[in-house]
Amino acid sequence: MFDMTSMLLGAAVAGIGISITMLSMWLTDRKSYYKAGWAVGVGFLILHVFAYWIYARDGSVVAGTVACALQPIGAAYLYASVRQYFDAKFSLLRTVLWVSLPYLLIAPPIFAAGYDGVALVIQNMLTATLLILGGVIYVERWRESPFAIGTLALLYTVTGVSFALCGLVIATNGQWTIGYPPQNWAEELNTAISILALTGAGAMTLSLDQMRLARRNQLSAMSDPLSGLLNRRGLAAAVSDTLSENEAVVMFDLDHFKRINDLHGHAVGDGVIQSFADTLREHGRSSDPMARLGGEEFAMVMRGVSMQEARGIAERILVAFAAVQMVSSKGEQFSCTVSAGIAFGQSSGVPIEHVMARADSALYSAKRAGRNRIESGELRLVG
């Protein structure tokens, strides 16, 4: 037989440490509400453990009723925090209230009225449903981090199943009025699994959060904050060192950008850069890396394209950008243009730096030829 009291207290101590750790992490990143939700959820489960311990020791109906009330609220917070981890706009508190309020009006009063077995069945089944749903959400998003998310999905699901077994055993035995904490193989199994799952899920959630933070920092280091595109470092990481004959670099440079800054101010100039970045994303191919190299200079690397296809995409971008109407700080409308240069790799493979240099040379040929055009070597492609 398991020492239920020691195991319950051990679960509470482990939960306190994990909850405090998660809460302290939320305090350093207040936008990550799922951390606070997870910490609060574990906090409710800890309170449930202590209330249940008192109920097991003294047979206090009040303590048992409180324990019955707290467990599903904690599970609701855990479920809602999983939802919010993947969807920051998800309303954590609203979900908890929608789940908890109807339950609090039903199960605890039933427990207090002496039908504790009925209340425990409802409690365990609701807790099981919430945890299994959390596991399902993890399964749906496992590609983000297969090992960590897969482990969390397993822990949530197995724990949920163990709670369901507790409810099923009570219902199967017809124990609608018990008067003391149920003691059976399902309860012992659930206690053991809950302790392992609480510590394991806590550690894995912290690990997953750190991996997401590391990816976010890496993305920040490789992206341009103004345009949202890759920066030079990010572009270098996104493409191979050499380009073949069906791979091209297109260099773009906004025409008369200094004049725009001088006439309308740098804030408007920043808006022009953002507008061109939007045009690139809208009219370029999402599979092609796009970057702001600095100032008003941009680059796009196309893969698996012919000369004609590359020219067509670049021309589409030029035409679309020229049609965008900008608004100055004085409310005046104006438009901008962009020049471009294209260069291809070769079947033997050409270092991307050489291809970019040739595209850059073609770009300045476009500038000298009158701007708002694309050049490739000496050939004018669009004018």
Enumerate residues 6+ apart whose C-beta is below 8 A from 235: 289, 291, 293, 299, 301
Structure confidence at residue 2 as a pLDDT band (50, 70, 90)? low
Task: Report the pLDDT averaged over residues 57-67.
Answer: 91
* pLDDT for 21 beyond 50: yes
Parallel, antiparallel, or unpaired for β 242-243 and 350-351? antiparallel
Place of tokens 């970019």: 356
pTM over 0.75: no
Percent of the chain with pLDDT strictly greater than 70: 95
Enumerate residues 6+ apart whose C-beta is below 8 A from 258: none
Residue 198: its pLDDT value, please? 79
Task: Report the pLDDT averaged over residues 350-370.
Answer: 92
- Provide the β-strand partners of residue 223: 230
Nearest of 313, 357, 323, 360 to residue 341 by alpha carbon: 360
Q: What is the mean pLDDT of the chain?
A: 88
Which string of b and e fits 245-257 if b means at least 16 CB within 10 Å? Answer: ebbbbbbbbbbeb
Domains of the chain and CATH, by start: 4-221 (1.20.1070), 232-382 (3.30.70.270)
d(CA 53, CA 234): 55
- Assess contact for 292 and 273: CB atoms under 8 A: yes
Structure tokens belonging to residue 61:
């109906």
Residue 8: its pLDDT value, please? 67
Task: Report the pLDDT averaged over residues 150-159.
Answer: 94
Kindly report which listed range (53-62, 130-139, 155-164) carries the lowest average pLDDT score: 53-62
Q: How far is CA 115 from CA 65, 120, 167, in A?
A: 11, 9, 14
Kindly report which listed range (19-33, 76-90, 131-145) carries the lowest average pLDDT score: 19-33
Residue 156: its pLDDT value, please? 95
- Provide the β-strand partners of residue 379: 376
More confident residue, 195 or 268: 268
Percent of the chain with pLDDT strictly greater than 90: 55
Residue 355: its pLDDT value, please? 92
Task: Report the pLDDT averaged over residues 198-220.
Answer: 77
* pLDDT for 300 beyond 70: yes
Kindly report, residue by residue over 167-189, the tens digit of the pLDDT.
Answer: 999 999 999 999 888 889 998 89
- Assess contact for 341 and 375: CB atoms under 8 A: yes
Residue 379: its pLDDT value, please? 34
Structure tokens belonging to residue 20:
């405090």
d(CA 320, CA 323): 5
* pLDDT for 227 beyond 70: yes
d(CA 243, CA 344): 7
Q: How far is CA 58 from CA 5, 61, 235, 271, 334, in A?
A: 12, 9, 66, 69, 80
Task: Report the pLDDT averaged over residues 343-347.
Answer: 89
* pLDDT for 380 beyond 60: no
Task: Report the pLDDT averaged over residues 230-255.
Answer: 90
Kindly report which listed range (15-24, 31-40, 63-72, 288-297) carries the lowest average pLDDT score: 15-24
Please state the φ and ψ torsions of residue 66, each to the nearest 5 degrees.
-65, -45
Residue 297: its pLDDT value, please? 95
